[in-house]
Amino acid sequence: MITDGELIGFLSDGEFHSGEEIGLQLGVSRTAIWKRLKKLSSLGLKVDSIKGCGYRLSQKLELLDKGLIESYLSGNIKAAINDLYIESVTDSTNNYLLERPKDNQTPSAANICLAEHQSGGRGRRGRQWMSPYGSNLYLSLDWQFEGGIAALEGLSLAVGVVVVRSLSALGIVGVSLKWPNDILIDGAKLGGILIDVKGDHAGPCRIVVGVGVNINMSRQDVDIDQSWIDLKSICADISRNKLAAYMIDELIKLLASYEMKGFQPYVAEWQRLDAFNGKLVDVISGEQKISGICCGIANNGALIIDIDGVKKRMHGGELSLRLSNES
């Protein structure tokens, strides 16, 4: 019995392959191939079928490659990785790491999970994260801190800064940040950050940092209730493997020094990247809505809103930020 991942890997070149060829290469019957092909639409993949030519994916895929990713990593970063997992399908890369035992992990080493597809990808406030197979970047990294949750103030904002650095290293310009964890280009969402924390307020704690970036999304097959953008629509093809490696490099450097340095080294850079600074915004918490002028962030990462001349600091949790003219 073949897996979806094996079949997709065979078809990832975007060329036509006959059912007989696929069956011979993968060691299964043509009927089994046909049944498996019918299931690929649930992963966000479109299969073209032409009599006399065979089957192909509607677009070529660059699948994740552990060896290739590791070849792009610097030596000191490789030494800081416990394990690098690449999954064909998982419910979410954050959950994958949260559910793994931590017995042998040291505070200065990371476990990393990347996936081709997330069946239950999560965004902020429980929203679904759209995850078509082999098209975008779904990356999670876990780390242990000894100083407790209190030492993690502003971390999601600092992650946003290093995500922008990773994109800039590949020549992607015009990226901005929306408090507290959205990555934007031209006001449209390119990606997001989700951090899960487990542990003690003052003692050892474990975090999982999840980053999702839209690389190649089909507008016909994706239902998203906000303005979004992907990298393919604004630049030449971007290697998913190279972007994953650059992201891992930056995240490990951030986490390795964060307990000692905190958010302070990232404040000025985040302010420069702030997409909403000086704009009229609505801050929504449950049924309540507060309107004011966005004045950037405080040194601890709190959002500063000017409400009729009074500056108020607002923290994360269930807050949602949007421009006042957005629906």
The secondary structure element, H or E, covering residue 327 is none
Q: CA-to-CA distance for 210 and 271, rounded, in angstroms?
A: 22
Query: Residue 136 carries which DSSP code?
Result: S
Catalytic residues: 124, 189, 322
DSSP secondary structure letter of residue 203:
S
Q: What are phi and psi of 279, to 5 degrees?
A: -105, 155
Burial of 193 (0-12, 13-18, 19+ CB in 10 A): buried
Q: What is the residue type of 235?
A: C
Phi, psi torsion values for 266, nearest 5 degrees: -110, -5
Tell me how many degrees the CA angle 172-173-175 measures, rounded to the nearest 5. Answer: 100
